[in-house]
Structure 1
Amino acid sequence: MPQHQPSQLAALGQIWVEAWNARDLERVLSLYDDAAVMTSDRIPALGFGADGTVRGKDALRAYWSKALGLIPNLHFSLIDVYVSPDSLVVFYENERGKRICEYLRVNDAGLIVQGSANHLVE
């Protein structure tokens, strides 16, 4: 299991938010491993992964590119970053005032290998 310093993981959470707010998809993707897996209940609505999962960086690029096109005012306001030895949770509020927790597991190289967007049930 990778062991990362809490400060490194907290910094990754900050960088992740900054990359999204810059709408810099390639910068976001640079934080992910080529074989990364992303799960979200929003994925099927955009026509990707009926099971809510996107696998691999190319599929992530296609999914997020479509999502960014639909959300021109995307903005994440960081609330907190929680860390464990091999993962972090980025707790943020989006441009619509919705609070989201993004679970991000990292590998030994510090790249994200698994992400899960967790939304409140409304």
Structure 2
Amino acid sequence: MTGHHAPSDLLALATEWIAAWNSRDLERVLTLYTDDSEMSSEKISALGFDASGTLRGKDRLRAYWSKALTFRPKLHFTLIETFASPDSVAVLYHDELGKQVCEYLRLDDAGKIRQASGNYPVRWA
């Protein structure tokens, strides 16, 4: 089956993803992504990038995350839970501000992230 990844490999990816972000080494983070990866987040348009909230390609992700990191000098993620399917992993964590976030990471056959989305809690009025 194409795109099938063992749960242990997905857990290892989630663990490395958290560690890469906590290192604040953007190039380390980007090694986990394909060159043509896609990222969606409400934060993309909030920081003045694509109004659609989606970016494609490592160069655009590098520019976005470089800017985002300037606003988060104490960025730190703490893993809460990892959820796996054969071709993806969802990483539930809380950040240094105590906010919960769930990142959905879909992988290619080689185990690199090809599609990602930052998912934030929905608060009902």
Alpha-carbon offset, residue 121 of structure 1: 1.9
The alignment-based identity, stated in percent, is: 58
Paired with 1:2 and 1:82, the residues of 2 have a C-alpha distance of 16
Q: Following TM superposition, where does structure 1 have runs of at least 4 consecutive aligned residues deviating by more than 2 angstroms? A: none
Alpha-carbon offset, residue 119 of structure 1: 0.1
Paired with 1:27 and 1:99, the residues of 2 have a C-alpha distance of 23
Letter in 1 for 2:17: W
Partner of 2:77: 76
Paired with 1:33 and 1:69, the residues of 2 have a C-alpha distance of 24
TM-score if structure 2 supplies the norm length?
0.96
Alpha-carbon offset, residue 33 of structure 1: 0.1
Q: Any gaps of 5 or more consecutive residues in structure 1? A: none
Alpha-carbon offset, residue 17 of structure 1: 0.2
- Report SS of the residue matched to 1:43: helix
Equivalences for residues 11-50 of structure 1 within 5 A: 11-50=12-51
Paired with 1:121 and 1:66, the residues of 2 have a C-alpha distance of 25
Q: Any gaps of 5 or more consecutive residues in structure 2? A: none
Equivalences for residues 1-122 of structure 1 within 5 A: 1-122=2-123
TM-score if structure 1 supplies the norm length?
0.98
Letter in 1 for 2:82: V
